[in-house]
Chains A and B, each alone.
Chain A
Amino acid sequence: MGVVERLSRLDRRYIFLAVAIAVTLPIFFPIGLPIEVTAPVKQLYDVIEDLPERAVVLISIDYDPSGAPELQPATLAILRHCFKRNLRVLVLGMWAPGVPLGMKALEEIAENEFHRQYGIDYVNFGYRPGGAIFLINLGRDVHDVCRTDVYGTPVEDLPMMDDVHSASDIALVISMSMGVPGSDQWIWYYHARYRGKLATAQTAIGAPRYYPYLQTGQLIGLIGGMKGAAEYERLVQTRGLATIGMDSQSAAHMLIIGFVILGNFIFWMQKRKR
């Protein structure tokens, strides 16, 4: 059996082993290649930079642990930027398994890093069911659909919410999303009715479908996957999990490209032989 024939029958466990090595090695031996910031990420950063102090930013945690490696670093970076700019943050989510992720992010950034006060600087309303209908109601009357926060505190007892009643009181909405309900619903049902500024962070696989919305101006920014999160980390000048993960992602992409080339070389050789 020739080399080409043997390669064509390569046991996929060797491929899996190569992926494991490519992903793991850069974690222990980081290369630290520079990260270029793309326009959709910079646009969101600029919008947050231009918001007046104490403006309200709503962050919707529409993902679960499977999407967290890509989206949680973006959530942390955005929260860091918001609190650095002295903005108020309202967190909620349309995915029940995402609630603890939102709580952990707030604990890490708002409490531990910036020492912000709950109820004054930020509020967490936790899981909100209803998808599209919830968003329609939210834009009309926030107090009506968020009567208590995630800890059971009535909305009237949260000073931050005194001047937050409807969509017009929210300066920016950022949907951290990996599926349905998520960014689609925010665009179709919330933005279509109440306008305002809307941005999204997506898993890498979901990001390409939001470019048309970016062109029409329905989205003012887009963070795509771990790379997008790493770009945002660069903008807020932190070295978070996304930046650390970039070397692994670089190695994995190079490996896939290598296998694509190898696979096509084998295919071409076999075709010539026939």
Chain B
Amino acid sequence: MRLQIPLTIILVMGIFTLVTSFIPAKPIADVNQMFRNWYIGIITFFIFLGTFNLARSNAEKIKKQGRDWQYSIILLAFLGIMLFFGFYRGRASTEEGQPFMYLYFNVQFPLESTMYSLLAFFVTSASFRAFRARNKEALCLLLAAVVIMLGRVPVGTAIWKGFPTVTEWIMNYPNAAAKRGIRLGIDLGLISMALRMILGIERSYMQ
């Protein structure tokens, strides 16, 4: 029963959702709408579930003094501070000058931007060490990368006016063709995976 009930729910709901795409008529469409509203409710609940799990796993790490457990203290402290300042004045917390907004723009914003910008340092280091023209294919990729890097910045246009045009051509033809192929492959895989789940062949998500 522990296996059959969830499999039956997925079979019924999967077929129902599929059918509603072809029959948007009144009773079926209304039930479908109800399910959609439930979904938004469930998704919203996941935010609380995620926050709770984050707090629990980090609390356990501190308790067991696992690897880099000191960082978990900082994480939990800031989680608590942001939650407190986010809740204590309700919607007014997002008004200008409030502590929540101050922390958002002066702590969270620069920290996240800095983390993302570190990519520039690692990409440059990797380009020096790993981006090698070992064969014809790698050389082709390397040349395309150099042209795109030049075509995407004003200095490229200053060197040669044709760089943006060549870059757009690479984006519109070789890039778009490859992306389209990858996308089709992913989508066919998704359809087959969905069918496998609806029919109960794929059960790994239940483990």
Main secondary structure of the interface of A (DSSP, over half): helix
Q: Which residues of B contact A69 (CB under 8 A)?
A: 113, 116-117
CB-CB contacts below 8 Å: B141-174 with A: 142, 145-146, 149-150, 152-158, 164, 168, 171-172
Chain A 25-39 interface residues, beta-carbon cutoff 8 Å to B: 33-36, 38-39
Q: Which of B96, B109, B153 contacts A250 (CB 8 A)?
A: B153
Q: Which of B44, B96, B129, B179 contacts A212 (CB 8 A)?
A: B179
Residue interface mask B124-145, A partner, CB < 8 A = 1: 1101111111100000001001
Chief secondary structure at chain B's binding surface: helix
**At the interface, yes or no: A80 with Cβ under 8 Å from chain B?**
no
Q: How far is the CB of B177 from chain A (nearest CB, A)?
A: 8
CB distance A246 to B153 under 8 Å? Answer: yes
Q: Say whether A129 contacts B40, CB under 8 Å.
A: yes
Instruction: Tell whether, in the assembled complex, residue A260 and residue B127 are in contact, meaning their CB atoms are under 8 Å apart.
Output: yes
Partner of A263, one of B108, B132, B158: B132
Instruction: Tell yes or no: B175 within 8 A of A by CB.
Output: yes
Whether A51 is near chain B, meaning CB under 8 Å from some CB there, is no
Contact assessment for A33 and B101 in the assembled complex, using a CB-CB cutoff below 8 Å: no
Q: Closest 5 CB pairs between A and B?
A: A33-B154, A250-B155, A130-B40, A65-B112, A66-B116
Pairs A–B under 8 Å by Cβ, sample size 9: A15-B128, A65-B111, A65-B113, A96-B47, A100-B94, A255-B124, A256-B127, A260-B142, A263-B129
**Chain B interfacial positions (CB closer than 8 Å to A):** 33, 36-37, 39-40, 43-44, 47, 91, 94, 96, 101, 104-105, 108-113, 115-117, 120-121, 123-125, 127-134, 142, 145-146, 149-150, 152-158, 164, 168, 171-172, 175-176, 179-180, 183
